[in-house]
C-alpha cells in the first residue's frame, strides 16, 4: 500500500475547524499557538469561534487551513508515530501546497504561516474587488477541452483562463468579470452548468501577476530545504524536491493552473499511490480522489477518531 498525503485549499474552511483536535491533543494546541505567535494574531480563536465572514477572508482562510492540516500531521507523528515520511508523496491544492511543504519539513511552520498571510493579502491587493471573477463549470459533459473552449470565448473581451482542473465534471475558470461572464455563456452552450464563485479575487490567472511578484520577493528571503517526502507540484503535476525549483513553482502557481486532476492521475498511475490521505479541514479532496482514481482509497482526517482509526489501519 502506497500513501500520498493531500492537503486542502481555500473553500474547505468552516467555523469550529481544529477545535476538536485542540481539545484532544496538546500537540495541536502547540501548533495553533505557534501560528498565532508567528502572525501576532489570535487566528485560532477566529477559527474556533468565527465570525465566518472574517474567517473566509483570504488572508485568514489560507493560514487557518494550513494550521488545521499541520495540527493533523503533527498529532499523527507525535501521538501515533505516523510521520509524513511514511508517505510516498505529498500534494496540496493551491494554498495546500504550502501545507504539504510544511508537513514535509521543507518550510518552517512559522515561515509558512507568514507566507500564507502575505499570499492572501497580495492576492487581494492584485485586483480591485468586483473587477475579477471565477466560475465553476460542472456536469458530466464538463472536461478540460470544454473549459478551454469557454475560456477562449471569454478571452475575446478580457482575461479568461482555466484556473483549476479539479476532475472530470469540475473545472474552474478565472479572469476579468466580463470575460468570465462570456465564458459562462459559451460553457452553457457546450452543455456545462456554470456556477459563479463567491471569491474576493480571480485566483490562478494572469491578473494575479502583482501577487506573484510579491511572493517571489518573500520566497527569496525564506529558507526552503528539500522536503522529506517529494511534492507533486500544482503547475507541473510531477514530483519535485529541489528547493530552488520548489521556490520557482510556488511563484508560478499564483498565476498558473492548478493541475489537480493530472496530479492525482500521476500519483495513482506512475506514482503507484493506492491510498490518499486528506490531512486537514473538510473532505473536498477525498471526493475528488474517488472520482479521479476510483480504484484507490481516500481517507479524510478531520477528528481525533479519524486519526486514531487511520493510525491503527497501518
Catalytic residues: 94, 204
Residue with cell 481525533: 304
Contact yes or no for 274/11 (Cβ under 8 A)? no
Burial class (CB in 10 A: 0-12, 13-18, 19+), 2: middle
Residue 296 backbone phi and psi in degrees, to 5 = -95, 170
CA dihedral 29, 30, 36, 42 (to 10 degrees): 20
> Nearest CA to 263 among 229, 240, 297, 295?
240
Give the whole-angstrom CA distance, residue 209 versus residue 122: 10
Which residue(s) pair with 301 in the sheet?
279
Grid cell digits, residue 48: 474556533
Amino acid at each position: 500500500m502506497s500513501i500520498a498525503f493531500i492537503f486542502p485549499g481555500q473553500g474547505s474552511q468552516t467555523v469550529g475547524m481544529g477545535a476538536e483536535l485542540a481539545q484532544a491533543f496538546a500537540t495541536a494546541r502547540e501548533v495553533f499557538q505557534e501560528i498565532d505567535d508567528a502572525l501576532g494574531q489570535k487566528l485560532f480563536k477566529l477559527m474556533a469561534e468565527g465570525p465566518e465572514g472574517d474567517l473566509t477572508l483570504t488572508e485568514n482562510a489560507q493560514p487557518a487551513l494550513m494550521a488545521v492540516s499541520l495540527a493533523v500531521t503533527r498529532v499523527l507523528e507525535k501521538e501515533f508515530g505516523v510521520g509524513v515520511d511514511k508517505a510516498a508523496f505529498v500534494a496540496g491544492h493551491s494554498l495546500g501546497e504550502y501545507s504539504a511543504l510544511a508537513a514535509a519539513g521543507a518550510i518552517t511552520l512559522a515561515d509558512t504561516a507568514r507566507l500564507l498571510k502575505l499570499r492572501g493579502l497580495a492576492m487581494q491587493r492584485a485586483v480591485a474587488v468586483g473587477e475579477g471573477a471565477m466560475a465553476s463549470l460542472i456536469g458530466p459533459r464538463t472536461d478540460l477541452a470544454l473549459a478551454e473552449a469557454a475560456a477562449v470565448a471569454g478571452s475575446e473581451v478580457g482575461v479568461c483562463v482555466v484556473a483549476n482542473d479539479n476532475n472530470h465534471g469540475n473545472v474552474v475558470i478565472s479572469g476579468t468579470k466580463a470575460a468570465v461572464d462570456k465564458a459562462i455563456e459559451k460553457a452553457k452552450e457546450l452543455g456545462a452548468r456554470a456556477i459563479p464563485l463567491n471569491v474576493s479575487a480571480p485566483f490562478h490567472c494572469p491578473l494575479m501577476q502583482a501577487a506573484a511578484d510579491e511572493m517571489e520577493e518573500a520566497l527569496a528571503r525564506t529558507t526552503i530545504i528539500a522536503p522529506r517526502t517529494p511534492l507533486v507540484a500544482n503547475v507541473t503535476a510531477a514530483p519535485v524536491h529541489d528547493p530552488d525549483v520548489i521556490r520557482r513553482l510556488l511563484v508560478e502557481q499564483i498565476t498558473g493552473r492548478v493541475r489537480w486532476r493530472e496530479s492525482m492521475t500521476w500519483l495513482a498511475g506512475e506514482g503507484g499511490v493506492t491510498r490518499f490521505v486528506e490531512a486537514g479541514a473538510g473532505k473536498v479532496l477525498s471526493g475528488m480522489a474517488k472520482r479521479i482514481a476510483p480504484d484507490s482509497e481516500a481517507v479524510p482526517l478531520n477528528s481525533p477518531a479519524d486519526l486514531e482509526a487511520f493510525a491503527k489501519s497501518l
